[in-house]
Amino acid sequence: MTCCQPLAHYLAQLQLRISSMSIDSELVAVDLTSDERSFIQHALYQWQFSATATPFPIRVLGLSTWEEFDELTGRLSYAVVGGQALTSLDWARVLYLTECSWASELVGAGLDFATVSGISDTEAVSLLRGLQRKIGRITTAELLFPGSGRHSKPADGG
């Protein structure tokens, strides 16, 4: 093995990761109700407040810094509230972050969500199920976690 082989392997892995993050750059519109948009906005907003006291694995979103995470959640919230189309990867991020923010006491707002958002758990579960039906039709977890499924080929092709 030459001195450059580890670097070449690293660069190949990095390129694969970057390309898997942008698998589908086509913009997709999702017809959301105003209540669904508001729920997503509250969920993404919590990453700036009550959910900030908890750790979150930002690397699963393809990010390396909290500043990138803040920019991502802000950009996604702005786009959803504005009714903008997003890539399938961004819709997967929206759904994943919304699920974690509302449901997870471990890494999200969890039990505090209803208090800080004014959205009851009964309303929230109904809204979330609707979002899962709508967004789940246009994206998959494979976009967030390429090659990580039990029956997937590893992302590095090995």
What is residue 10's predicted lDDT score, i.e. its pLDDT?
A: 46
Q: pLDDT for 99-127, tens place per residue?
A: 999 999 888 889 999 999 999 999 999 99
Give me the percent of the chain exceeding a pLDDT of 70: 77
Q: How confident is the model at residue 156 (pLDDT cuts 50, 70, 90)?
A: low
Among 113, 116, 91, which Cα is nearest to 102's?
Answer: 113
In sequence order, the 6+-apart residues with CB closer than 8 A to the CB of 90 are 76, 79
What is residue 59's predicted lDDT score, i.e. its pLDDT?
A: 84
Helices (H) and strands (E) in the chain, counts: 7, 2
Checking if the pLDDT of 40 tops 50, the result is yes
Q: pLDDT for 53-63, tens place per residue?
A: 667 888 888 88
What is residue 60's predicted lDDT score, i.e. its pLDDT?
A: 83
143, 39 in Cβ contact below 8 A?
no
Average of per-residue pLDDT across 40-45: 96
Q: How confident is the model at residue 6 (pLDDT cuts 50, 70, 90)?
A: low
* Nearest-angstrom CA–CA distance, 57 and 63: 9
Q: pLDDT for 69-78, tens place per residue?
A: 999 999 999 9
